[in-house]
Amino acid sequence: MVKLFFAKVAVCSALLCLSVSAIAANAVTATRVWPADAYTRVTFEAAQPLKYQTFTLKNPERLVLDIEDIALNSVLNALSAKILSSDPYIKKIRIATYQKHVVRVVVDLKQEVNFNVFTLKPVGEYGNRLVLDIIPTKDPLMAMLDKLNQEAEPKPIIEPLPNTHKPPKESPEKIRMITIAIDAGHGGEDPGARGANGSYEKDITLAIAKKLKAEVDAEPNMRGILTRSGDYFVSLGGRVVKARKIKADLFISIHADSFTKSSARGSSVFALSERGATSATARYLAKKENQSDLIGGVSLRDKEPILARTLLDLSQAATINDSLKLGKAVLGHVGKVNRLHKKHVEQAGFAVLKSPDIPSILVETAFISNPEEERKLKSSKHQTKLAKSILKGIKTYFAANPALARIVVGER
């Protein structure tokens, strides 16, 4: 009987130790903050999945996140210092132990917001992640969809009154304003490819995109709009939505290629394909680029309205044809600045190119995995050359395919 008692005590002690060690084993190992106009993202990373509870408080506006089965540590304590005064939504973050094995994160807000909290499984160099997205109350995507729906409603026919006035004198022909959506690949949680000497694709693509915008804006009848202007994550669908929201005439996605062999080199241009990839390389690249949402982190709730809106329009085939024309023009000029990896436009199922009504191409500027090309990609002078060559390709395309009248320069 005594032996049985001590055996039970030993088992209970072992289970208790196991439970305590399991709790102690999980700890937040990294935190990151990505402020942006569209939303601010706060990420908590751990070896095991993080359990949480959330709620909001009013007067003043606060968001509370309780993370369970962890202890307060130096990594969590360091989060408060990562909040910038320029953050559009977060005033400050306070962190403390709320209950045993529960850490409370209080986010003091500058305004009323919506929020989205979700977890991500390990992928790439990241472990388990708990993601908090703080979003403005007016959803840009839904506002765009409402506007599109209103425009689609039939307007009542009104009989015009007799015109008793003399017709006005014809004004000089107005210059058509062309809008180019310039997409810097990757960003924020998604670094993209890493160069042989440690540079990140997301930094190089943003630098080239900003230079391309400057070149485009210098043209009297063009304006460039960036899908991201800083180091933060934008989902693949979100990039397409932004291009459609600004009624872009073209969509140019800037990337830097990578391969297992450092000898791979050269620039490439890709367009969307409805019927599969034109080569094994194109298929591999599309699969790799389409993993951006897994790495950067997109909740299923974010994907649904984007997908629904994209599937409404079935004019993809004509758009792909225009994309191929644009790609050919850009490839011809990029080839004068850098060696080409492929001398023709390739096609594959790139998610970021799936705008049904905007000619879209993806430009792989060079191989960041090639040490020589990585050095060139990091050069401001070479970045400018690439930007100028892409603009020349755009102008060549429009010379043969004039944009239809829509808005004028005065509306810039």
The three-point CA angle 294-211-396 to 5° equals: 100
pLDDT score, position 353: 59
Cα 281 from Cα 269, distance rounded (Å): 12
pLDDT score, position 37: 77
Describe the crossing of helices 236-245 and 300-312 by its angle, rounded to 10 degrees.
Answer: 50
Asked if the model's pLDDT at residue 208 lies above 70, the reply is: yes
Residue scoring higher pLDDT (296 or 386): 386
Minimum mean pLDDT among 114-123, 207-216, 317-326, 362-371: which range? 317-326
Minimum mean pLDDT among 104-118, 142-156, 231-245, 337-351: which range? 142-156
Residue scoring higher pLDDT (316 or 393): 393
Residue scoring higher pLDDT (149 or 96): 96
pLDDT score, position 394: 97
**Are the C-beta atoms of 139 and 94 separated by less than 8 Å?**
no
DSSP secondary structure string, 342-390? -SS-EEE--GGG--TTS-EEEEEEEETTSHHHHHHHT-HHHHHHHHHHH
Residue 73 identity (one-letter amino acid): N
Cα 305 from Cα 316, distance rounded (Å): 19
Q: What is the average per-residue pLDDT within 308-319?
A: 47
User: For residue range 11-61, what is the model confidence (pLDDT) as tens digits?
Assistant: 455 444 444 444 456 899 999 999 887 889 999 999 999 999 999 999 999
Neighbour tally for 352: CB within 10 Å: 27
| Beta strands at 90-99 and 102-109: parallel, antiparallel or unpaired | antiparallel
User: For residue range 77-132, what is the model confidence (pLDDT) as tens digits?
Assistant: 999 999 999 999 999 999 999 999 999 999 999 999 999 999 999 988 889 999 99
Cα 229 from Cα 219, distance rounded (Å): 20
DSSP state of 141: H
Neighbour tally for 114: CB within 10 Å: 13
Indicate the pTM of the whole model: 0.70
Highest mean pLDDT among 50-64, 303-317, 356-370, 391-405: 50-64
Cα 176 from Cα 241, distance rounded (Å): 23
pLDDT band at 303 (very low <50, low <70, confident <90, very high): very low
Asked if the model's pLDDT at residue 334 lies above 80, the reply is: yes
147-153 long-range contacts, CB within 8 A, separation 24+: 148/309
Of all helices (H) and strands (E), which one includes residue 223?
strand 222-226
Cα 412 from Cα 406, distance rounded (Å): 12
Count CA within 13 A, CB hemisphere, residue 68. Answer: 5
Neighbour tally for 21: CB within 10 Å: 9
pLDDT score, position 367: 93
The three-point CA angle 69-114-107 to 5° equals: 50
Residue scoring higher pLDDT (384 or 15): 384
* Closest by CA position to 91, among listed 106, 75, 77, 76: 106
Cα 103 from Cα 96, distance rounded (Å): 6
| Beta strands at 40-46 and 28-34: parallel, antiparallel or unpaired | antiparallel
Neighbour tally for 260: CB within 10 Å: 6
Ordered structural domains, the chain, with CATH: 27-136 (2.60.40.3500), 178-411 (3.40.630.40)
Asked if the model's pLDDT at residue 284 lies above 90, the reply is: no
DSSP state of 408: B
Residue scoring higher pLDDT (29 or 149): 29
pLDDT score, position 174: 59
**Are the C-beta atoms of 330 and 274 separated by less than 8 Å?**
no
Residue scoring higher pLDDT (276 or 223): 223
Average pLDDT score, the chain: 80
Of all helices (H) and strands (E), which one includes residue 252?
strand 250-257
Cα 159 from Cα 178, distance rounded (Å): 34
pLDDT score, position 167: 57
